[in-house]
Amino acid sequence: MLRTIREYVDFQAANAPDSLYLIAPEPNLRMTFGGLQKASRALARYLVERGIQPGEKVALLMQNGYQTCRLFIGAMYGGFCVTPLNLLAQASQLEYVLNHSDASIVFVAPDQLGRLNTALSGIAREIQIVVCDIDAEEFITASDKAEEMPAVGEEDDALMMYTSGTTGTPKGVVLTNRSVISGGQFVSAAHELGPNDRVMASLPLYHINAQIVTATSPLVHGGSLVLPHRFGVSQFWSLVAHYECSWINLVPTMVSYLLQGPDLSKQDPDISRVRFCRSASAPLPPDLHRAFEEKFNIGIIETMGLTETAAPCFTNPLDSALRKIGSAGRAFGNEAKIVNAEGDQLPSGATGEIMVRGPNVMHGYYKNPEETVKTLTTEGWLHTGDLGYLDEDAFVFVTGRIKELIIKGGENIAPREIDEALLKHPAVLEAAAVGIPDQHYGQEIMVCVVLRAGEQCSEDELRIFCLNELGAYKTPKHIRFQDALPKGPSGKVQRLKLLQPA
């Protein structure tokens, strides 16, 4: 079985050199597997000529684009460890990641160069800079001659991603070639993807979901991806129809935005080729799930993954009759169990921490052995930090995060329960609950709410609604109306940021 990025690129280039791998809509550029192999070899030569050795960190500060994707795959192909940088990172976080990662070189889009220079001004060591347009068709001269490439093994580091840092200093998650490829294999196998499949890839390439689900899995199954610069409601369905996508990859926030968008019957794009929609990165509220399927007649496969698991670890079945709305599905390619605070495995139906084990799990946290030991057991089990339970059919139901858990008067309250109750109110577009200090109960419940456009609703009205849905004990004491909720690049609400002043 193939276990490295290079092996898969070479395999696809040998067997289907003229088959499409990437479509970039804005510059109208297309890349074949054969072209990807040539570009990857040229990049490897270019980096070595600049003094960058295999295994060193190659950072990217670039939006989605034709060249961005080639650099992402090409760096791993050459045996380097690619480190995509979050475009939403604050200046201090960007400086920290660049310094902590030991990045040797940064490929940067022209509009990000100012931010990069500001971050580098606080770093003493020299880091090479290469300014590169995201849609550059070519900036490294390709070579047709067969050049000797340094060996790349499945245990060699391929990708390092930094966690969002919402609960502390960002941690560098080190993923080997085996981890990255396993993630792509799990996606391909779970959804029965093949060479004729094409995905609409709307998530940013500095997020693990996009990197594994939409950039790596097509290498495994020989399919292709459509990679627009960014997600946009107004153009989404027309792109899906024009490029004949067979599946789409979204996060719950995108699902919500599309539901608020124009009715397809008025645009009449042909999306009949779409077999399913994949949702991940955050729990999908059941009401949104059902509304999307009803409006667009496209079934949603809800899944779950982490940066530390190279994206996928749970998925609902491809057969819609076997899926469970509200669940992230069963473990696929991994083992899973639920444990209590003492580490004892719990039976079906009991809530505890979700743990997973498999070939996709990270090697560890970069230069952070203490956190690595806390997170990975000696038997290879990963502490996900997520709370949930397995039902009698081994489907996982996520109830919250350990650090986000609201403990009111000694009773554990999952924030998601509060969120989903408020989302049933017709005026509420988004809601996120969080625990705040209280001298009587230890913690009380605060919820931040975003109303739908043109809707009005008072705090009292929402509180009465919650009393009916949740009862007095779980009804939020404080309700804060906001224009938007703080989110990470995947669209996941950064719940702990809600504790900051409005």
pLDDT confidence of residue 333: 96
What residues pair up with 382 in beta bridges, in sequence order?
Answer: 356, 376
- Spell out where 101-170 has E strands: 103-108, 128-131, 157-162
Q: Write the single-letter amino acid at 104.
A: S
pLDDT confidence of residue 165: 47
Mean pLDDT of the chain: 93
Query: Which CATH number is associated with domain 405-499?
Result: 3.30.300.30
Whether 72 contacts 215, CB under 8 Å: yes
* Total-model pTM: 0.87
CATH topology of domain 5-140+150-390: Rossmann fold (3.40.50)
Tokens matching residue 71: 């650099």
pLDDT confidence of residue 411: 76
**Residue located via tokens 């003493």:** 124
What residues pair up with 128 in beta bridges, in sequence order?
Answer: 105
Q: At residue 336, what are phi and psi to the nearest 5 degrees?
A: -140, 150
Locate all alpha helices (DSSP H) within 297-402, ordered by sequence: 369-375
Alpha-carbon distances, residue 240 vs 74, 234, 248, 431 (angstroms): 26, 12, 8, 29
Best CA proximity match to 296, nearest among 348, 216, 240: 240
pLDDT confidence of residue 166: 40
Return d(Cα 263, Cα 60) in angstroms, integer. Answer: 37
Q: Is 264 exposed, middle or buried (0-12, 13-18, 19+ CB in 10 A)?
A: middle
Under-70 pLDDT residues of the chain: 142-147, 164-168, 265-267, 501-502
> Strand 406-408 to strand 276-279: parallel, antiparallel, or no bridges (unpaired)?
unpaired
User: Domain residue spans in the chain?
Assistant: 5-140+150-390, 405-499
Torsion, Cα 418 419 421 427, to 10 degrees, reads 130
* Counts of helices then strands in the chain (DSSP H, E): 15, 25
Q: How much is the CA Rg of the chain, to the nearest whole Å? A: 23
Return d(Cα 352, Cα 338) in angstroms, integer. Answer: 5
Return d(Cα 155, Cα 495) in angstroms, integer. Answer: 35
Best CA proximity match to 67, nearest among 34, 19, 117, 108: 108
Q: Identify the three-state secondary structure at position 436.
A: strand
pLDDT confidence of residue 283: 83
| Cα–chain center distance at 79 | 23
Whether 447 contacts 478, CB under 8 Å: yes
Cβ–Cβ contacts within 10 Å for residue 163, how many? 20
pLDDT confidence of residue 58: 98
Return d(Cα 39, Cα 75) in angstroms, integer. Answer: 10
- Spell out where 221-275 has E strands: 224-226, 247-250
Best CA proximity match to 91, nearest among 125, 65, 69, 123: 123
Whether 195 contacts 221, CB under 8 Å: yes
- Spell out where 275-427 has E strands: 276-279, 300-306, 311-315, 330-331, 335-339, 352-357, 364-365, 382-390, 396-401, 406-408, 411-413
Segment (H or E) for 430: strand 428-438
pLDDT confidence of residue 483: 95
Return d(Cα 323, Cα 471) in angstroms, integer. Answer: 30
Mind listing the pLDDT tens digit for each residue in 31-61? 999 999 999 999 999 999 999 999 999 999 9
| Cα–chain center distance at 182 | 16
Residues 6+ apart with CB under 8 A from 243: 23, 25, 198, 200, 226
Return d(Cα 41, Cα 79) in angstroms, integer. Answer: 11
